[in-house]
Amino acid sequence: LPAEVQDFVSRGTISMGHARSLLSLKDPKKQINLSERIVNEDLSVREVEQIVSGDKSNVDPVKSPMGIKLTPKLIKSPQILDMEDGLRRAVGTKVSIMERNGKGKITIEFSNNAQFEGIVAKLNSLTNLHVR
């Protein structure tokens, strides 16, 4: 994979599943473009697989293999992406920020109870909230 894509993976911006799907594309420019779409549109691995398989069959890459148009998601500003990256580094897991018109939500992912408790401990150390 191109260095730009490898950087997304190492920063946790895209998952290994996303990266595996990107390997199906032989053109490095297409890999970079799709990795940027993954970040900007918060595409799932399944959506990326559909786009990649659509690309192989010379179907419009915005559509799935069944011809269903994939709904574009909000494009995140560089500031939001930087905030996500900073929070990801602070808590040690994937963080997603969805913002629109001054409102939004922050999603912090965890895979088990121990990781969840670690995230809560890190957040408590940053604040004096002491969430239980």
SS3 of 33, please? helix
Inside any domain, residue 72: no
- Shared domain for 14 and 50, answered yes or no, is yes
Are 87 and 50 contained in the same domain?
Answer: no
CA–CA distance, 119 with 108 (Å, rounded to integer): 9
Q: Which residues contact 57 (CB under 8 A, 6 or more apart)?
A: 65
pTM: 0.43
For residue 118, give its domain range. Answer: 78-126
If asked whether residues 9 and 50 sit together in one domain, one would say yes
On whether the CB atoms of residues 119 and 93 are closer than 8 A, the answer is yes
Residue 14 lies in a domain: yes
Number of domains the chain is built from: 2
Q: How confident is the model at residue 43 (pLDDT cuts 50, 70, 90)?
A: confident
Q: Indicate if 49 and 85 belong to the same structural domain.
A: no
Same domain, 47 and 7: yes
Closest alpha carbon to 94 in 105, 106, 102? 106
Kindly report, residue by residue over 81-120, the tens digit of the pLDDT: 888 888 888 888 888 888 877 788 898 988 899 999 999 9
Say which residue the tokens 């970040």 belong to. Answer: 39
